[in-house]
Amino acid sequence: MNKLLFVSLLAVCACQKKTEPPPAPPKVPEVNKISVAQMPAGHPSLPSLTVQSRGPRRLSVDQLEKALDQIGNVPAGTVVLPPDMAFTLGRPDYKRVTQEQLEPSPLFMKFMVDLGGAFCTNIAMAEAGRPTDQKVFTRYGTVDENLSYMLLRFTGIDGDDAAPYLPRLKSAYDTGAQNATLTLGGYQAVCMSLFTSPEFLLY
Amino acid sequence: MNCKHCMTGKFGRRSLLKAMSAATGGLLLADLFPRTAFAGTLDKHRKFVFAYFDGGWDILLGLDPRDPVGNNPATSQIDPGYDQLGYGASTGVQSAAGLKFGPAVPASFLQVAGECSIINGVGMDTAAHEVGRRYFLTGQFPRGLDAVGSSVGAYAVSQMGEGSQIPFIAAGTEAYNDGLPAFASALTVNTLNDMAIALNPLVPVDPKVQEAMQKFQDGGPGCAGWALNRDGLVAKLEDSIARSRGYVTAMLGSNFDLTRSDAEMQALIGLYDIGAAYGDLGSPEVLSFLAGQSLKKGISQCVSVRMANSLDTHSNWAQDQLPAQQRGWKALAALLTDLKNTPGAMPNTSMLDETTVIAFSEFGRTPLFNSIRGRDHFLGNSALIAGAGVKHGMTVGKSADVGMMPVYCDPLTGQGFDAPPQAQIDSGAVTMLSPQHVLATVLASAGIDYSYLRVDPIKALLP
């Protein structure tokens, strides 16, 4: 009985604290919000279907392929992973595996490093032959502008939210650029850094 | 740059009082539940194999056979169906090392049967593949289809400590880590090719580019990244990056290179019958080989491996169930033989003396045929336990003589009872076996605390 009384007192004490204004939440992009898809013209809006939040997810293989098309500025459907590789990354074969595996596992991350290496090298090789408005690494005149553009292209992060990332990307650029044999080594380093970042791989 | 303020929290008077309330309440409530006694010496060198037979095996063909002679399916509600089996099947029940096996168990497995015991009459409480599979992997009944808690392999590894490069490998199976240390998370591979991808650098990357990328990765995500860290997803990704780097630098890939022409690899190719896989690097033969190499080379402490597939024979039972199950038992036999032939760390011991092996499926199949000569999902199940820390040559538990549903078992003796006295049921002297009992036995065999499973192990199987 004494034990129960003690617990009750503790619980009452815990509940009687004066209300204090909660600390201001850190400013982070509202990445978990999803808006309702656009309805056809004349259709009433359905705000009750708005999903305010959901758990973050890893890119699926399909999403990854489409994202790489977009980032690489190549026609949709250009990037297609071989079936074996796609299976490794989690795409079900509907024979042995019927659900897509979306864990950011060590195997997935190891393969993303490999894939990033190939993808970023290919972009670097194609860069010189592309018109300015189709370049991925060197679309703008300064390195800072190009890094901002790459960050936006990979992750959708722009404006004030991008500011903390830019010094780190510049550092990666400077390290990568130390290899004189690679014309775009600095940009390749930034490309691979973003390729394996949670900001790109999760959503 | 790391968004530390996103993750830090204050610990004040309110938090302290809440914690004290919870702790004191917990102490009070603890008296309401019976406690599971646990006393064991942790074997930090123990290894584990969880051999999963995918699809729901027919226990009549494997671990819980019935003699068809004199059997009347109309009264026993059991139809072994052995007469329908064609190629490669024996005529019925086989005996080896005091154990009985059905016709799907090949001769190669009978040769290692002396290292095994059988657990019959395991109740699954589900007939859904995902639920049964996750129940047996975690020892906790899933919530809907979602797994609850961690894989028992991950839990075992977390208790033993990080003693190898890749402590836990899941080959063709699911694996879960819920709140355990990161090293207990499995490297999940579907095929041997995945293993090669994980362990070998596929694309040469310029060292300076590599250095820059690693430096960026080591800086961690930014605020936008941490905002995605619900459910620990970002932390998992960060850990995965670090671990994948370690795999490559350890240069373990050659252990799994089937193209090697040296005598050791050629002998293994013969033992595991890799040729029967016809190039399928996710086949039972190849994944069994992967498990064996991982354990023997000290790469891993625990392997969860899909040892058979295509067992979900709602139709074409006679054509499909037997060869699929046979293939699984053959692959398991190769693994047990390989471990038995490999010297252990102590003199006059083998690797099998350091490894506990459990073979299971998500459920059994109905003892009677459906209208299309197949067998559907069944609540009753069996399991096989072998190797270190358990008695061999025993059959514990029982399925009913009519209808094959699991019946009560005395975990102290392993004896099954179709209709035990009510007093024994009330006192807990007899119990219905479940995956928890099986997995608690696996953990107890290595001195690992099994109390979170909330059941006692099958003590009849423990030395």
Q: Is A5 on the interface with B (CB under 8 A)?
A: no
Write the single-letter amino acid at B393.
Answer: G
The least confident of A103-117, B140-154, B282-296, B418-432 is A103-117
Angstrom distances, CA of residue A41 to CA of A38, A44, B261: 9, 9, 68
Nearest beta carbon to residue A202 from set B14, B198, B234: B234
Nearest beta carbon to residue A175 from set B188, B215, B234: B215
Q: Is A108 on the interface with B (CB under 8 A)?
A: yes
User: What chain B residue is nearest to A172 in terms of C-alpha separation?
Assistant: B212
Return mean pLDDT, chain B. 90
Q: Is A197 on the interface with B (CB under 8 A)?
A: yes
* Interface probe, candidates A197, A200, A201, A203, chain B, greatest B C-beta count within 10 A: A197
User: How much is the average pLDDT of B126-149?
Assistant: 95
Nearest beta carbon to residue A111 from set B197, B225, B236: B197
Closest approach of A156 to chain B, Cα-based (Å) = 10
Contacts with B154 from chain A: Cβ below 8 Å: none
User: How much is the average pLDDT of B377-402?
Assistant: 97
CA distance B135 to B434: 10
Which residues make beta-bridge pairs with A58?
A: A202
CB contact under 8 A, A10 and B202: no
Question: Scanning the structure block, which residue is given the tokens 């129960």?
Answer: A4
CB contact under 8 A, B223 and A109: no
Closest approach of A112 to chain B, Cα-based (Å) = 9
CB contact under 8 A, A199 and B205: no
Q: Give Cβ neighbours of residue B311 (< 8 Å, ≥ 6 apart).
A: B53, B54, B55, B56, B57, B58, B321, B324, B325, B328, B361
B390, B332, B318: which is closest to B360 by C-alpha? B332
User: What chain A residue is nearest to B227 in terms of C-alpha separation?
Assistant: A28
A101, A119, A17: which is closest to A58 by C-alpha? A101
Closest approach of B409 to chain A, Cα-based (Å) = 35
Q: Is A101 on the interface with B (CB under 8 A)?
A: yes
pLDDT band at B8 (very low <50, low <70, confident <90, very high): very low
Distance from CA of residue A25 to its chain's centroid? 22
The answer to whether B138 and B363 have CB atoms below 8 angstroms apart is no
Q: Would you state the pLDDT for residue A67?
A: 96
Nearest beta carbon to residue A31 from set B189, B224, B243: B224
Nearest beta carbon to residue A88 from set B24, B187, B197: B197
* Pairing state between β B380-387 and B116-123: antiparallel
Contacts with B190 from chain A: Cβ below 8 Å: 87-88, 96-97
- What pLDDT tens digit does each residue of chain A (203 aa) get? 455 444 454 444 444 444 566 566 555 444 444 433 344 566 555 554 444 556 788 999 999 999 999 999 999 999 998 887 788 788 887 766 677 888 888 888 988 999 999 999 999 999 999 999 999 999 999 999 999 999 999 999 998 889 999 999 999 999 999 987 788 999 999 999 999 999 999 98
The least confident of A26-40, A137-151, B24-38, B332-346 is A26-40
DSSP B197-256: HHHS--S---HHHHHHHHHHHHT---HHHHTT-GGGHHHHHHHHHHHHHHHHHHT-GGGG
B149, B177, B288: which is closest to A105 by C-alpha? B177
Q: Which of residues 137-176 of A touch B (CB under 8 A)?
A: 155, 157, 161, 164-165, 167-169, 171-176
B126, B57, B68: which is closest to B329 by C-alpha? B57
Q: Which of residues 23-42 of A touch B (CB under 8 A)?
A: 26-29, 31-32
User: How much is the average pLDDT of B37-52?
Assistant: 86
Nearest beta carbon to residue A202 from set B207, B212, B233: B233
Nearest beta carbon to residue A55 from set B185, B189, B231: B231
User: How much is the average pLDDT of B107-120?
Assistant: 97
Task: For residue range B237-271, list pLDDT tens digits in order.
Answer: 998 898 888 888 888 899 999 999 999 999 999 99
Q: Would you state the pLDDT for residue B23?
A: 54
Q: Would you state the pLDDT for residue A1?
A: 45
Task: For residue range A135-178, list pLDDT tens digits in order.
Answer: 999 999 999 999 999 999 999 999 888 999 999 999 999 999 99
* Interface probe, candidates B216, B217, B230, B240, chain A, greatest A C-beta count within 10 A: B216
Q: Is the predicted pLDDT of residue B34 greater than 80, yes or no?
A: no
pLDDT band at B24 (very low <50, low <70, confident <90, very high): low
The angle that helices A106-127 and B207-218 make with each other, rounded to 10 degrees, is 130
User: How much is the average pLDDT of B51-72?
Assistant: 95
Closest approach of A125 to chain B, Cα-based (Å) = 14
Which token pair is B441? 């036995």
Contacts with B238 from chain A: Cβ below 8 Å: 198
User: What chain B residue is nearest to A179 in terms of C-alpha separation?
Assistant: B208
The least confident of B50-64, B193-207, B284-298, B412-426 is B193-207
Between these two residues, A23 and B216, which has the higher pLDDT value?
Answer: B216
User: How much is the average pLDDT of B336-352?
Assistant: 96
User: How much is the average pLDDT of B31-48?
Assistant: 70
ipTM of this complex: 0.74
Q: Would you state the pLDDT for residue B96?
A: 97
CB contact under 8 A, B6 and A28: yes
The answer to whether B143 and B400 have CB atoms below 8 angstroms apart is no
CB contact under 8 A, A107 and B228: no
| Phi (first) and psi of residue B191, to 5 degrees | -140, 170
Q: Is A198 on the interface with B (CB under 8 A)?
A: yes
Distance from CA of residue B245 to its chain's centroid? 27
Q: Would you state the pLDDT for residue A21?
A: 60
Which token pair is B26? 């917990």
Query: Is the full-model pTM beyond 0.80?
Result: no
pLDDT band at B22 (very low <50, low <70, confident <90, very high): low
Contacts with A165 from chain B: Cβ below 8 Å: 222
* Interface probe, candidates A10, A143, A158, A184, chain B, greatest B C-beta count within 10 A: A10
pLDDT band at B119 (very low <50, low <70, confident <90, very high): very high
Contacts with A115 from chain B: Cβ below 8 Å: 203
CA distance A80 to A184: 25
Contacts with B21 from chain A: Cβ below 8 Å: 7, 10-11, 14
Q: Would you state the pLDDT for residue B246?
A: 86
CB contact under 8 A, A4 and B241: no
Q: Would you state the pLDDT for residue B282?
A: 94
The answer to whether B50 and B304 have CB atoms below 8 angstroms apart is yes
CA distance A114 to A192: 9
Contacts with B213 from chain A: Cβ below 8 Å: 113, 116, 172, 189, 192-193, 196
